[in-house]
Amino acid sequence: MPTSVIRLVRLTGRLLVALAAVVGLLVVFIALIALTNGAGSGLAAWLTTLGAGVVLAIWRGRRRTGPARLVPFLPVVVAAASAAAVCIPTVPTDRQPPPALPFVATQHWSLATGSRVAVYHYPPVNPGTAHPVPLVYLAGGPVRGISVLDHRFLQLLARQGYDVYAYEQAGGGRSDLLPMGRYSISRSVRDLAAFVDRLDQGRVDVLGFSSGGVVLTRALADPSVAARLHRAIIAEPGPMDGPTARVTGHKGRESARDLAPAMSGPRSTHVPRYAVAFGLMRLGLLTPDTGLIGQAEGDNAFTAADLGSDTASAYCARDAHRIPAEDTAQNFTFSAAASLRVQETVKDSPSLVPLLRQSRTPTMLMIAECSSQVRQWATAILGDDPAVRRTQYLPGVGHRMWNGLDDNNDRAAAVVTAFLQDEPAPLPNHPTRDEIPAFLRDHG
């Protein structure tokens, strides 16, 4: 065999050994991040990995002389430099709330619970036709800013005579952060009660969307909170308790997930630090209060593009190539860690059924044709809340029912206003409780 070939084989072998050493050290580093819960912004894991790499390099170079003794340290240097990218913030670590919206003032209310929330008020456009009961909107998230798309829908309701209030859950949007351990679904329910008390206009109507619908459902099961509510509208709810969260089953008609073009824009998950942090949190290998990234830093880093196909899944397949911009880059905020913490408290909660069966607040359920939500999350409420007076199944829309496409906003508003005014429903009352088995079978 020619000498040149032998040299090439040897060089290739050495490079492969060096590459394996780099990869091995990075695997050790990621494992230590998980084991230490990211302590010290990942510095504890980095120093331990560096120390282990140095010891290994010394051992491998013990029989070498001269400059050759330094060669085993090269993989350690490469691995240490790569791992350091996970330990260095690339966005501000202090809270950077969104700038003010140009079309509505942001108020900040301090609630009796200790939460300080951002509040938006859309008074009725024509006070002469105003409805006497205020309408409070609970957005989805769970810990996310209210999107521009939602604001437009609230403006539509105000033009129809409703005195509309919306607030961003503690930690979301322009609301103040909470210590991570204080986020919970129970805290969200208490905040709703405190918000109504702070509003001080008597009982209110509440429209809860997605995770906001979960907050509303649990409020209906708490007599002290339900006493503050006049009427309730639960739109496209998530799971209301631990047993429901563990249900797997039917979903709606085909959504635009995997059909829509990929979202454009920067992604925090393209940055090693946040790819590791959010990835390990999603896998359950880091807790929401991880020491790797602070809550404020995580909020600042997360972008709309990081939601990926989750956004597309909120639209029907037929709308895959015309999904609207739900928000602006300046207004978008999402707290992945705090949202995960709230979701965990839902999953850990006992069955809500015994309490929900005592509900007496007139309630309406809204379900979308192309919903990405598990159908049983909605039908569980229908089956267990005797105060659900009507169900409205909206054709032609996904989880994001008011989306600005075609007449979808007007159709959703018609359903909402008819119930709040106790007028005949614009759509058939479907499914009824007796129709739940057939509904799950036919709309799976």
Domains of the chain and CATH, by start: 3-87 (no CATH), 107-442 (3.40.50.1820)
Which residues contact residue 1 at a Cβ distance below 8 angstroms, ignoring those fewer than 6 apart?
none
Q: What is the DSSP letter of 397?
A: E
pLDDT in tens, 258-293: 899 988 888 998 999 999 999 999 999 999 999 999
Residue 67 Cα to chain centre, angstroms: 53
Q: Rounded to 5 degrees, what angle do the CA atoms 84, 85, 86 make?
A: 85
| Structure-block tokens of residue 231 | 């009427």
Rounded to whole angstroms, how far apart are CA atoms 202 and 405? 35
pLDDT exceeds cutoff 80 at 241: yes
Average pLDDT over residues 190-204: 98
CB 308 within 8 A of CB 336: no
Q: How confident is the model at residue 74 (pLDDT cuts 50, 70, 90)?
A: confident
CB 121 within 8 A of CB 148: no
The pLDDT of residue 269 is 86
Helices and strands of the chain, counted as H and E runs: 16, 8
3-state helix, strand, coil split of the chain in percent (to 5) is 45, 15, 40
Rounded to whole angstroms, how far apart are CA atoms 168 and 188? 11
DSSP structure string for 362-378: -EEEEEEEE--S-HHHH
The pLDDT of residue 201 is 96
| Structure-block tokens of residue 116 | 């300080």
Q: How confident is the model at residue 62 (pLDDT cuts 50, 70, 90)?
A: confident
Rounded to whole angstroms, how far apart are CA atoms 214 and 96? 28
CB 319 within 8 A of CB 256: yes
Dihedral (CA of 207, 212, 216, 217) sign:
positive
pTM over 0.85? The answer is yes
pLDDT exceeds cutoff 70 at 348: yes
| Structure-block tokens of residue 303 | 């972008």
* DSSP-based three-state secondary structure for 354: helix
CB 177 within 8 A of CB 171: yes
The pLDDT of residue 243 is 96
